[in-house]
């Protein structure tokens, strides 16, 4: 039952973020953002399911392969919310940086990393079991291994880097949207490589 509750919450959040994007941003690129997030979630979680020492999803109702419905929409919600909130923070506290690509990316990445903490602690708790980390995953911080905030923050950084770079191209919005949807597969692979590297560094540092 708890898995259904979090899935419903993520789907509602995804719908609200999509409506916000549709109202305030170009329609083709808004659609591409959330389609890209869907692709990222489905492809990434299916590849992660094949990797040793990573989490699994034992108690969800709907899957595409090994990816549960919560992950079809969850990544794009965290990326979009962090991007929007990060923009507001920059506008309020560092207006001269509000249009700087790297400031936008770093701010969104930090916010996404902080979002990961309560979500992952709740998700990995025995009472919920939204996803389960195996014992060899180096559990150091409550119910999650220390790679988690780096994984979430890195995902946000890479996803938005590709999206915002493609968005600025001098081309029709539809062309840029289709290019980003195709690029979301590359974003997924790059993030998995990044995750492997960060995980290896953490293993070397703390065993």
- Taking only the tens of pLDDT, the chain with its 207 residues reads 577 888 888 999 999 999 999 999 999 999 999 999 999 999 999 998 888 777 888 878 889 999 999 899 999 999 999 999 999 999 999 999 999 999 999 999 999 999 998 888 777 665 677 777 777 665 555 567 788 899 999 999 999 999 999 999 999 999 999 999 999 999 999 999 999 999 888 878 876
Torsion of CA 61, 122, 110, 165, to 10 degrees: 0
Please tell me the distance from the alpha carbon of residue 134 to that of residue 53, in angstroms, as a whole number: 6
CA-based nearest residue to 156, from 86, 55, 66: 86
- Residue 106, Cβ neighbours under 10 Å: how many? 16
CB 59 within 8 A of CB 129: yes
Q: Is 53 exposed, middle or buried (0-12, 13-18, 19+ CB in 10 A)?
A: middle
The upper half-sphere exposure of residue 5, i.e. CA atoms within 13 Å in the direction of its Cβ, equals 7
């Amino acid at each position: 039952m708890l898995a259904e509750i979090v899935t419903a919450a993520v789907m509602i959040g995804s719908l609200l973020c999509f409506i916000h994007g549709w109202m305030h941003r170009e329609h083709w690129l808004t659609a591409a953002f959330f389609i890209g997030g869907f692709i990222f979630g489905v492809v990434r979680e299916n590849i992660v399911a094949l990797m040793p020492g990573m989490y699994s999803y034992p108690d969800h109702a709907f899957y595409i392969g090994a990816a549960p419905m919560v992950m079809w929409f969850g990544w794009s919600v965290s990326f979009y919310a962090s991007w929007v909130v990060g923009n507001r923070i920059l506008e309020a506290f560092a207006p001269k940086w509000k249009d700087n690509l790297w400031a936008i990316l770093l701010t969104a990445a930090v916010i996404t990393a902080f979002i990961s903490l309560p979500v992952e602690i709740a998700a990995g708790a025995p009472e919920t079991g939204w996803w389960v980390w195996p014992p060899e995953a180096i559990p150091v911080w409550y119910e999650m291994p220390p790679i988690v905030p780096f994984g979430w923050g890195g995902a946000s950084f890479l996803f938005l880097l590709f999206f915002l770079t493609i968005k600025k191209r001098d081309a029709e919005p539809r062309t840029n949207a289709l290019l980003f949807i195709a690029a979301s597969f590359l974003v997924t692979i790059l993030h998995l490589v990044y995750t492997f590297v960060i995980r290896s560094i953490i293993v070397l540092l703390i065993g």
